[in-house]
Structure 1
């Protein structure tokens, strides 16, 4: 397993309790949201430590998702999990389709424009209603570059660790 494969990727969060049998409400960051149950085992990460969980099952409940965790069978046990982040190894995720990218794979890449001017490094990405946006940091300077392949993003080269964009360095 290489360094990319053994990184933990955030895919959701435990946000509340459901009932008395130890079920929890979760927020899923996967698309579609029920895909979160396909990627296991989960590493629950909280201020009190990390805990690996296997065999989680879930169902949609109104506008939310309820999860049953095999090792948790009462509300008091489940209460200790609220606020935990749900992470999985990058290797548990399927390879992205051509032209699709996991944000976690883009974070840390260098960004340069088509003229070869370095703009900084991708700190993180933001979801907006129209398109995703790369937050590119260079020291104290921060640029917000739309992640629109073809229009602004001209090339993603993981081998070189670089994203080439059509972007004015003064913007």
Structure 2
């Protein structure tokens, strides 16, 4: 979920955030299956405009219908009413404008805000630079920061538990401070 800078004319200004992916066609009337990265998954259907990753960058896409279907989602692409045209949109990432995302309470963060931040551990009176947040993952019990250090170093998996292992997140300086043993 890396933010991309782009406005409707293609110039850099508005942030886009990857929020899902069109995976396959559904039926014969222009519907597609959608894998959503939002929580809950059907939140992606609430955004009025999607941006779809294409060969030449991001292009706007409108849907005119969508719903849960089984364990996933399906959506209808506006003005696309046959399976062959819908197939053109498959296996492509969906992004939304970050300014369309609802604001969060203080101390809450979207994953894309944490990706790329430097992670510093304050452990037993010493400071350690662990590298940067490569991504986050869900484990069921709690989310986990996947931190990648210098080349040749193994990645660290740090539980995202504010107040326990995560002691500070400073978006302005781009640093997450953790209490984590450097031997892990």
Same fold, judged at TM 0.5 (above): yes
1:116 to 91, 107, 127: 127
> 1:167 deviation in Å?
0.5
Aligned pair count reads: 169
Residues 52-106 of structure 1: CA deviation (Å, up to 9, x unaligned): 1124420122222110111312111001111111111222211222332111100
Query: Normalising by the residue count of structure 1, what TM-score does the alignment of the two structures yield?
Result: 0.89
| Aligned CA distance change for structure 1 residues 25 and 48 (closer, same or farther; 3 Å) | farther
1:24 to 28, 32, 37: 32
Equivalent-residue separation in structure 2 for 1:15 and 1:72 (angstroms):
16
Asked if residue 106 in structure 1 is aligned to residue 119 in structure 2, the reply is: no
Q: Which residue of 2 aligns with 1:15?
A: 23
User: Can you give the 5+ residue segments of structure 2 that lack an aligned partner in the other structure?
Assistant: 6-12
RMSD: 2.0
Q: Which residue of 2 aligns with 1:130?
A: 141
> 1:6 deviation in Å?
2.8
Three-state SS of the structure 2 residue aligned to 1:91 is: helix
1:149 to 154, 162, 168: 162
Q: Which residue of 1 aligns with 2:179?
A: 166
User: Can you give the 5+ residue segments of structure 1 that lack an aligned partner in the other structure?
Assistant: none
Query: Normalising by the residue count of structure 2, what TM-score does the alignment of the two structures yield?
Result: 0.83
